[in-house]
């Protein structure tokens, strides 16, 4: 691998460029018309425009990206997260063009990208799954109500092709479920080019715990411990941490084994994450999905292990026959806060505008800041609202939390609305301090937090 095209933008493109540089690999950025002056363009050795501002015309435009690859003579592509990272067709096109794809095999991406196929794969690997329904193809809602009753309420209508919390709808009661299902089908068809849905039981007091894995392509794989991502709103993660606080060791080991069983079953290649929900009351755990990419929250794992997950991905992709690694020891605790351009007081609506002031801590001990923006940049409505990740480390969880709070205190943003104060309120909340976290935390404590 000599030259890596990074098919992404924002903080993750900058992050990938950093690891590539460390390994002596030169980097190629792609950008849309809206991102001509973006930070990730500067962080790479060269850059190519791939189209207009809407993602569908640039960061999702497979042909334009492959053309940029040919033009730059890059020999490898890292997709980052989101955009084309879990697009099996893109992975295939990259491999067919004789380029190195930094990610799992297209077939694995395809299986795990179909949430129902993934469930079946988990069942085959002996991993417990949540109660769910059959698949409802677009236009088919036959006996939906009966299936819903069998699954039980509350339930979640999930898009088979969905991901990143998009294409999910919580339903508390049977009335209107058919109409709601039809709208999820329509939205899914538009967003994921796949209108199929299914129903899955929703656990009201659940924790979201995920295992970072790394596979060597022959069934062997290692885990890099777990992360707790229970603090979410609208199925979008807000605060993540490692390790998961208060998780019994026996449960943790069972989850590692389940995650590795899935890697064996799929002969998994590279970095991946197996997501579970844990019933906060009974401590039972169930497979949710597998993300076949690097994740937004991967830095908390790096903070407690010292691993460079992106570097591992690149080394594995460059030399799959010889690359090897062991489960790293972990030390301390780490917390990541996602700074979003949004207005918590206005239902968390996204906020666009110019960052007239944007200051994050510089060289603060035990703090890592990942961002794709600088002061003066514009936050456009075209892409994800995340503007920075503030990642803290401490010997103990409480120390990591304190460090994160003081880093957020030192973060100044003007020109747009952000969730900074909301994040501080989450971290200061006594339930959070106790480790009493679950996916309903933000909703339940909303009045204290906003």
Partner 1 sequence: MAKIEIQSEMTGSVWKLLVENGQEVSEGDTLIIIEAMKMEIPVIATDTGRVSEILVKEGDMVADGDIVLRLEA
Residue 385: CB minimum distance to partner 1, A: 4
* 105 catalytically annotated: no
String of contacts with partner 1 for each residue 129-168, x by CB under 8 A:
-----------------------------------x-x--
User: CA-CA distances (angstroms) from residue 108 to 102, 111, 290, 319?
Assistant: 13, 5, 10, 19
User: CA-CA distances (angstroms) from residue 2 to 22, 73, 77, 314?
Assistant: 13, 10, 11, 11
**Under a CB-based contact definition with an 8 Å cutoff, are residues 133 and 108 in contact?**
no
String of contacts with partner 1 for each residue 260-299, x by CB under 8 A:
----------------------------------------
Q: Is 217 in the site for partner 1 (CB under 8 A)?
A: no
Euclidean distance between CA atoms 382 and 179, whole angstroms: 29
Q: Residue from 215, 270, 272, 385 that binds partner 1 (CB under 8 A)?
A: 385
Q: Which is nearer to partner 1, 27 or 236 (CB)?
A: 236
Q: Residue from 31, 214, 216, 383 that binds partner 1 (CB under 8 A)?
A: 383
- 311: Cβ contacts below 8 Å, ≥ 6 apart: 19, 22, 23
Residue 270: CB minimum distance to partner 1, A: 25
Q: Which is nearer to partner 1, 44 or 379 (CB)?
A: 379
Euclidean distance between CA atoms 237 and 411, whole angstroms: 20
Q: Residue from 18, 187, 264, 445 that binds partner 1 (CB under 8 A)?
A: 187
Report residue 282: phi and psi, to 5°.
Answer: -90, -15
Residue 414: CB minimum distance to partner 1, A: 16
How many Å separate Cα 42 from the centre of its chain? 24
Q: Is 195 in the site for partner 1 (CB under 8 A)?
A: no
Strand 46-51 to 76-78 pairing: unpaired
Q: Which range of residues in 291-299, 323-331, 379-387, 423-431 is near partner 1 by CB under 8 A?
A: 379-387
Segment 321 to 350, residues that bind partner 1, using CB under 8 A: 341, 346, 349-350
Query: Considering only CA atoms, which of 211, 276, 212, 209 is closest in space to residue 247?
Result: 209
Residue 175: CB minimum distance to partner 1, A: 17
Q: Residue from 381, 395, 398, 443 that binds partner 1 (CB under 8 A)?
A: 381
DSSP result, 130-181? --B---B-TT--TTHHHHHHHH-SSEEEEEEEEETTEEEEEE-SSTTHHHHH
270 phi-psi bin (left φ>0, alpha ψ -120 to 50, beta other): left
Of 119, 207, 293, 368, catalytic: 293
Strand 166-171 to 155-163 pairing: antiparallel
Residue 260 DSSP label: H
Segment 54 to 73, residues that bind partner 1, using CB under 8 A: 54
The CA dihedral of 289, 290, 293, 295, to the nearest 10 degrees, is 60
Q: Is 384 in the site for partner 1 (CB under 8 A)?
A: yes
Residue 311: CB minimum distance to partner 1, A: 29
Q: Residue from 382, 393, 422, 441 that binds partner 1 (CB under 8 A)?
A: 382
Q: Which range of residues in 315-323, 351-359, 388-396, 433-441 is near partner 1 by CB under 8 A?
A: 351-359
List contacts with partner 1 (CB under 8 A). Answer: 54, 164, 166, 187, 341, 346, 349-353, 381-385
Catalytic residues: 293
């Amino acid at each position: 691998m000599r030259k890596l095209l990074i098919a992404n933008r924002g903080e993750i493109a900058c992050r990938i460029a950093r690891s590539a540089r460390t390994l002596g690999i030169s980097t190629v950025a792609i950008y849309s018309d809206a991102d001509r002056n973006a930070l990730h363009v500067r962080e790479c050795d060269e850059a190519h425009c791939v189209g207009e501002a809407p993602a569908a015309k640039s960061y999702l435009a497979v042909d334009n990206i492959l053309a940029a690859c040919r033009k730059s003579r890059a020999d490898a592509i890292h997709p980052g997260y989101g955009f084309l990272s879990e697009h099996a067709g893109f992975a295939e096109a990259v491999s067919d063009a004789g380029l190195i794809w930094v990610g799992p095999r297209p077939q694995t991406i395809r299986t795990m990208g179909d949430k129902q196929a993934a469930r079946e794969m988990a069942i085959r690997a002996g991993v417990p799954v949540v109660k769910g329904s059959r698949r409802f193809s677009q236009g088919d809602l036959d006996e939906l109500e009966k299936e819903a009753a069998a699954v039980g309420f509350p339930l979640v209508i999930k898009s088979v092709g969905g991901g990143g919390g998009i294409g999910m709808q919580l339903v508390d009661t049977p009335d209107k479920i058919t109409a709601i299902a039809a709208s999820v089908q329509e939205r899914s068809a538009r967003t994921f080019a796949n209108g199929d849905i299914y129903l899955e039981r929703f656990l009201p007091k659940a924790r979201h715990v995920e295992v970072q894995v790394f596979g060597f392509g022959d069934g062997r794989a290692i885990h890099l411990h777990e992360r707790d991502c229970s603090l979410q709103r609208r199925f979008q993660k807000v605060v993540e941490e490692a390790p998961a606080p208060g998780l019994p060791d026996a449960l943790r080991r069972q989850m590692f084994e389940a995650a590795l069983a899935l890697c064996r079953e799929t002969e998994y290649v590279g970095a991946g994450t197996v997501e579970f929900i844990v019933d906060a009351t009974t401590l039972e755990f169930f497979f949710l999905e597998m993300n076949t990419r690097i994740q937004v929250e991967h830095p908390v794992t790096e903070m407690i292990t010292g691993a460079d997950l992106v570097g591992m991905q690149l080394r594995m992709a460059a030399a799959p026959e010889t690359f090897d690694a062991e489960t790293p020891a972990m030390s301390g605790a780490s917390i990541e806060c996602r700074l979003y351009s949004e207005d918590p007081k206005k239902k968390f609506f996204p906020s666009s505008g110019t960052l007239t002031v944007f200051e994050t801590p510089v060289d603060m001990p035990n703090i890592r800041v990942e961002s794709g923006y600088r002061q003066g940049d514009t936050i456009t409505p075209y892409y994800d609202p995340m503007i920075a990740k503030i990642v803290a480390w401490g010997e103990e969880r409480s120390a990591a939390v304190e460090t994160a709070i003081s880093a957020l205190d030192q973060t100044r943003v003007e020109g747009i609305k952000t969730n900074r104060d909301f994040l501080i309120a989450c971290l200061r909340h006594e339930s959070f301090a106790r480790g009493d976290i679950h996916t309903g935390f933000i909703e339940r404590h909303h009045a204290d937090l906003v």
